[in-house]
Amino acid sequence: MTEQSNKIMAEMQVRKSKKQKESFRAWLCGELEAAGYAPTVEKGLAARNVVVGDPDKAQVLLTAHYDTQAVLPIPNFITPRNLFFFLLYQIAIVLPLFIVLGVVEGVLLSVGNALGAGDTLAGTLVLTILMPLTSMGICVFFIWWILDGKANKHTANDNTSGVLTLVETALALPPEHRDRVCFVFFDNEEKGMFGSAAFAKKHKQAKKKTTVLNFDCVGDGDSIQFFPQKKLKKDEDALRCIEAAFLPAGGKDVQVVRSFSMYPSDNANFKRGAGVCALKHKKIVGYYMDRIHTSKDTVLDEANIALLRDGALRYIAGLD
């Protein structure tokens, strides 16, 4: 990997607070300017996107979110091609919340009844004010913990790997091909894809007509998979161009998925978007991703980054 990528891995894996993001953007823009680019920072919807190139004229957008997430006690387990396990895991995540709410409300209900609910002021206050406020407070804390809790210090896969893919590609791209592509580093994907939503609102051409390859969690897994949105999925020529450019190498396979799939990332905000990730495989579960959003997110397979960089360079070179 380049010197810039090694520095990101060693010193800049945490990009969560306002100060951390500002520092990373300043450094990133400086490195890209030194390489001959003219990066800009676009503001919108509480997000700051780093845009490298002209998104309204580029033939393809290569994107990745640079913000990092809060550390959680359990990993975010994603199965893009298995709806049953995907939904089952989402239920498992919120189940502890309902258990806690049930226990707390049961205790407060018992206290309220013991104090004489309906007959005494204390009992009535417990049931009509304290109980709903406590339940609301628990829900707010749960949401805050997931979206804005303590920063995860280990983000090798989610999404330092995507950031490195863009950096490696941008630095290796010949000057004569640079006007064909726009690199976009999205902010606040982890809080609700605010950065890509703001970008899509501002650049309607890109939202509706431009192919967008969004690299999110591409560092841990031997199967590199592309999950196109509905409009792009219908364009067989475009899918074949992706397959012709991104080639299997070093024991890694590459798949452009045409069957049912769902990959929840910034690609969802673009009609011709495709989410790109690295997956593992087990017989029952199928293709899956684990470790992310926890302290175990430490795996970055440099072969994946090289495969995607080389594929992106071939893809860009093949554009008319």
Rounded Cα distance between 58 and 196, Å, is 17
Percent of the chain scored above 70 by pLDDT? 99
Is pLDDT at 118 greater than 70 in this prediction?
A: no
The answer, yes or no, to whether residue 126 has pLDDT greater than 90, is: no
Which tokens hold the place of 135?
């339940």
Single pTM value for the model: 0.92
pLDDT of the residue at 148: 83
Find, among 252, 278, 300, 277, the residue nearest to 8 by Cα.
Answer: 300
pLDDT digits (tens, 9 = 90+) for 247-303: 999 999 999 999 999 898 999 999 999 999 999 999 989 999 999 999 999 999 999
* The pLDDT of residue 305: 98
State the chain's mean pLDDT as an integer.
93
**How many angstroms separate the Cα of 305 from the Cα of each of 93, 142, 246, 282?**
30, 34, 12, 23
pLDDT of residue 145: 82
Mean pLDDT for 91-101 is 84
Which two three-digit tokens encode residue 30? 């400086």
Tell me the pLDDT band of 242, cut-offs 50, 70 and 90.
very high
- What is residue 278's predicted lDDT score, i.e. its pLDDT? 98
How far is residue 233's CA from residue 241's CA, in Å, rounded to a whole number?
12
Torsion angles phi and psi, residue 264, rounded to 5: -80, 90
| Residue 184: closest CA among 213, 155, 220, 218 | 213
What's the whole-number mean pLDDT along residues 176-191?
96
Task: Fill in the amino acid letter for 157.
Answer: N
Range of lowest pLDDT (14-18, 65-69, 122-126, 303-307):
122-126
Decide if pLDDT at 119 tops 80: no
For the chain, what is the HEC assignment?
CCHHHHHHHHHCCCCCCHHHHHHHHHHHHHHHHHCCCCCEEEEECCEEEEEECCCCCCCEEEEEECCCCECCCCCCCECCCCHHHHHHHHHHHHHHHHHHHHHHHHHHHHHHHHCCECCEHHHHHHHHHHHHHHHHHHHHHHHHHHHHCCECCCCHHHHHHHHHHHHHHHHHCCHHHHHHEEEEEECCCCCCCHHHHHHHHHCHHHHHCCEEEEECCCCCCCEEEEEECHHHHCCHHHHHHHHHHCCCECCEEEEECCCCCCCCCHHHHCCCEEEEEEEEEECCCEEEECCCCCCCCCCCCHHHHHHHHHHHHHHHHCCC
What type of residue is 224?
I
Mean pLDDT of 108-120: 76
